[in-house]
Amino acid sequence: MIVSCSLNGQILPADKFTIAINDLGLLRGYAIFDFCRTANGKPFLLPQYLTRFRNSARLMELDLDYSDEQITEIIYQLLEQSNLPFAGIRLLLTGGYTADSFTPAKPNFLITIEELSLVPAGVVEKGVKLMSYEHQRDMAEIKTTNYTVALRLRKKLQQQNAYDILYYSNGHVLELTRSNFFIVKGNTVITAATHILKGVTRQTVLNLAESQYKVEVREIKLSELAEADEAFLTGTNKKIVPVVQVDDQVIGNGKPGQVTMNLYKAFLEFETNY
């Protein structure tokens, strides 16, 4: 639920939040976004998210006429207005109000503050099952608003009692619909290198892992899931969640592994001290 919002720099009540029908974000799905959250009452890793958002805008050739300082100031104003103990922060940049239903115009820039829930502790303790699906997102390095495949498969996901979808292509594991994916083999932590959105949480976990384990950023063969001792996913509001099964393939002994839980604890400590 959106609690407070800003449209093109103007702070608005949530019920006054409107976008005209001729915005290319609605007509053609031509828009980018990014999403971060708060920790200890302030935006968590905001500079990294702003860097990724700005990179997405550049690659989509959308003008972002706001400095990081201006965006940060608006976010703090919205957070103060929302008064949420734990909040999601969404940045959205659209193709603008088009004159011919196709040509981009001056982008609309929106910031929303949303209620957000963390992953329940029980999920981390037990781990989750994933459903695999062959798909590689178009322009995977850009955080666009195109989630058509993930939304279309939601019923199948429920039927398989799976937590999320693991995309793979040409025999290689890529990413989840909204998260990154890791496997652990012995004392080595491994994650995909290309054709993925490079998550901010993913990079934070890689940084934490480098001080304790060997780290490999490379292609992961789908067949390696059978050889993995552990697996886990990372995401903004998920932090680290153990993966204990993909389709019918049980990962390791079917329980959250020691490396995964060590990294989870290290991440929580990093967040607390941020």
The count of domains in the chain is: 2
Q: For a pLDDT cut of 70, what percent of the chain falls above it?
A: 100
**Pair 138, 87 in one domain:** no
Which has the closest alpha carbon to 143: 95, 197, 93, 187?
Answer: 197
What's the rounded Cα separation, in Å, for the pair 268 and 254? Answer: 23
pLDDT of the residue at 81: 92
The predicted structure's pLDDT at residue 57: 98
Same domain, 86 and 110: yes
* Domain-ending residue, one of 56, 82, 115: 115
Q: Are residues 264 and 144 in the same domain?
A: yes
144 with 263, same domain? yes
Query: Is residue 127 over pLDDT 90?
Result: yes
Q: Pick the last residue of a domain from 90, 115, 140.
A: 115
pLDDT of residue 15: 83
Quote the domain boundaries for residue 40.
2-115
260 and 129 in a common domain: yes
- Give the pLDDT confidence of 157-211 residue by residue, as tens digits: 999 999 999 999 999 999 999 999 999 999 999 999 999 999 999 999 999 999 9
The pLDDT of residue 59 is above 90: yes
45, two tokens? 């890793």
What share of residues in the chain are helix, strand, coil (percent, to 5)?
30, 30, 35
Using a pLDDT cut of 90, give the percent of the chain over it: 93
Query: Is the same domain home to 163 and 135?
Result: yes
The predicted pLDDT at position 16 comes to: 82
159 and 181 within one domain = yes
Both 229 and 179 in one domain: the answer is yes
How long a stretch of residues is the chain? 274
Q: What is the pLDDT of residues 99-112, one digit of tens each?
A: 999 999 999 999 99
134 and 228 in a single domain? The answer is: yes
CB within 8 A of 209, min separation 6: which ones?
Answer: 189, 215, 263
Region 64-88: mean pLDDT is: 95
Pairing of strands 230-235, 180-185: antiparallel
Asked which of 89, 115, 141 is the last residue of a domain, the reply is 115
pLDDT at residue 12 is higher than 90? no
Query: How does residue 121 score in pLDDT terms, banded at 50, 70 and 90?
Result: confident
**Mean pLDDT across the chain, nearest whole number?**
96
Two tokens, residue 22: 């001729």
Beta strands in the chain (DSSP E): 2-7, 10-13, 31-39, 42-43, 87-94, 109-115, 128-134, 164-169, 172-176, 180-185, 188-191, 214-217, 220-221, 230-235, 239-246, 249-250
35 and 138 in a single domain? The answer is no
pLDDT at 164: 98
| pLDDT beyond 90 at 242 | yes
Residues 147 and 234 in one domain: yes
Q: What is the CATH number of the domain that holds 205?
A: 3.20.10.10
Answer whether residue 227 shows pLDDT above 90: yes
Q: Is the pLDDT of residue 30 over 90?
A: yes
